[in-house]
Structure 1
């Protein structure tokens, strides 16, 4: 319970933009987790597809090659499901962090314009509101990019395995 209240305090310190980044991060990590789960269970499907191909009597005709090409295209699409959404979220995160920086600076300068130089704890709170969204946006993007690269490599490896299996 204490951890949840700490998270809420952290998010509140960064302002509404940090909440938005938290939501982006949650969606991004959920999509990546789904892909990791899918790849973990894909091996069974891969074996079945290769066995289905090997059990075909006709593997050399033009029709058979069209079927092979169709299967490969369908599996490539299955392996890369949601990749475009994941890529987009990764690109949005640093921009959202920058938005937090700009809105935090506007708020801090607005307060300074109305009441003069703030007290040190007010200044620290303002600087926190400026820096936290930037940090969160960049950290989310870097983590997402790293995990996405792992997913891309896993998809490519499985597609190559399938391609070799269907070539025989």
Structure 2
């Protein structure tokens, strides 16, 4: 376990401070993705069942008020299935931008080395170039790891909301 921690610490040191920010953003993104799976596995069916039982217990299902209550129930399901999806999409879009920020900071280090040494010595610049490429790679990998879920989760939400709306009879 100590070797894993030391390896992670070395990796973060090679990529600079931006790599730490990318790691936190990726951790947050995956926390929200896993929260969505936990919702669908544990909370979605009981919520649907409770609201459907509430609707089925109503005697009046045709009045304007009843339809407003039905719409509100559908809205509750939509709100719960859409929860945190926007945050996931934002973090997926943010990851490559953070990688680009790491590239810029690494290249600034390269230019600092060039300015201090007065030459373009490849050995001196290698550390900055390495520091520039690692965050770019990490940002792209973070975005790619969440890209699938940022497209699938909104579809699941729309599908589950529509299914629930179909389950509630109009009359």
Q: Normalization by structure 1: what TM-score?
A: 0.90
Whole-Å separation in 1 of the counterparts to 2:45 and 2:121: 60
* Structure 1: segments with no counterpart, 5+ residues: none
Alpha-carbon RMSD: 1.7
Partners in 1 of 2:81 and 2:145 — Cα distance?
21
Residue 119 of structure 1 and its aligned partner are, at CA, apart by 5.7
- 1:27 alignment partner in structure 2: 28
Alignment: residue pair count: 167
2-structure distance, mates of 1:141, 1:134? 11
The structure 1 segments of at least 4 consecutive aligned residues displaced by more than 6 Å after TM superposition are none
Deviates more, 1:27-36 or 1:149-158: 149-158
- Deviation string, structure 1 residues 53-94 (Cα, Å, up to 9, x no partner): 122211111111010011111221121112222222222211
Moved more, 83-92 or 28-37: 83-92
Structure 2, unpaired ranges of 5+: none
Matches within 5 A, 1:9-158: 9-41=10-42, 42-115=44-117, 116-118=119-121, 120=123, 122-158=124-160
How far apart are the structure 2 equivalents of 1:4 and 1:156?
41
Cα shift at 1:110: 1.0
Question: TM-score of the superposition, structure 2-length normalised?
Answer: 0.89
Residue deviations 1:11-61 (CA, integer Å, cap 9, x gap): 111000111111111111111111111111211221222222122211111
